[in-house]
Amino acid sequence: MVKRKGDKTFPDRAAFKRLGSKSQRAAKVLEYCRTHEGYEDIIPFCAQAVIVRPLDADEESSEGRAPGYVYLVRHGTRREYKIGRTNNPIRREGEIGIELPEQLEPVHQIKTDDPGGVESYWHRRFAEKRKNGEWFALSVEDVRVFKRWKRIY
């Protein structure tokens, strides 16, 4: 932290680490810039810093933790979608399906080393479309945007 050496009022490394990895911090800034006017010139820089790659079979993160998943499932024929997180998407789909009258349709999953952070991002992004808990009334375009994300590390 070069800035910190010359300016003791600038936050230290620990303050930034509490905000997550570089990719996670960039995703937070990216979300803010997309939802507030006047930051359009920052979006390309943050988008480059958010690392997105296709799903690979059961890789572990660089810290040795097993990855988790953020998933999107559709409730029957309705336009109701659940955004949640799990270590085992197949098991979780079965658990949720038991509680519902219609069958669940898996739509997409994102593999990540920070399922809590990624899930929070999507919940905030679609907050105005929230129906109840983790259920959202999403448009076709919303689903398309979610499906663009494959893996975040």
Domain positions in the chain: 1-50, 53-153
Amino acid at 143: V
pLDDT given for residue 104 in this prediction: 74
Q: How many CA atoms lie within 13 A of 10 on its CB side?
A: 8
Q: What is the pTM of this model?
A: 0.54
Residue 92 pLDDT grade (very low, low, confident, very high; cuts 50, 70, 90): low
Task: Give the residue, 53 or 129, on which the prediction is more confident.
Answer: 129
| Burial call 74-97: b when 16+ CB within 10 Å, e when fewer | bbeeeebbbbbbbeebeebbeebe
| C-alpha span between 141 and 87 (Å, rounded) | 27
Share of the chain above pLDDT 90, in %: 20
Burial class (CB in 10 A: 0-12, 13-18, 19+), 41: exposed
Least confident of 48-52, 66-70, 126-130, 133-137: 48-52
